[in-house]
Amino acid sequence: MPPLPPSFFELIERSDKPVLVDFWAEWCGPCRVIAPILKDLARDYQDKIKIVKVNVDLEPDLAMQFNVSSIPTLLFFKNGQLVKQQIGAVPRQALEKIIKDLL
């Protein structure tokens, strides 16, 4: 998954694909559980969706702007708009369903 681009909002607004943003931290156990699932989804859906990670310890202001109070928090954007939020580690099937619904 690519690192956070210089302009987070530009990525969201200009993306021609849905964007999944993973708010996480290194010390977060559930974040470590979901990380390989997101990596696999990024590979499997690379032509259909963008997946980016935001480390809440390095980007606290960005996390605050989206009211992220628990991690992992996954935000799903389509056409520049927030359309879905998922809090906590969930199975691959649940995330894949959300992605397919966005496509």
pLDDT tens by residue, 26-56? 999 999 999 999 999 999 999 999 999 999 9
Burial 11-41 (b: 16+ CB within 10 A, else e): bbeebebbbbbbbbeeebeebeebbebbeeb
Stretch 81-90: mean pLDDT: 95
Please count the structural domains in the chain: 1
pLDDT at 59: 93
* Residue 90 within any structural domain of the chain: yes
Examine residue 3 and state whether it is found in any structural domain, yes or no. Answer: no
Catalytic center residues? 28, 31
**Radius of gyration (C-alpha) of the chain in whole angstroms:** 12
Range of the domain at 73: 8-102
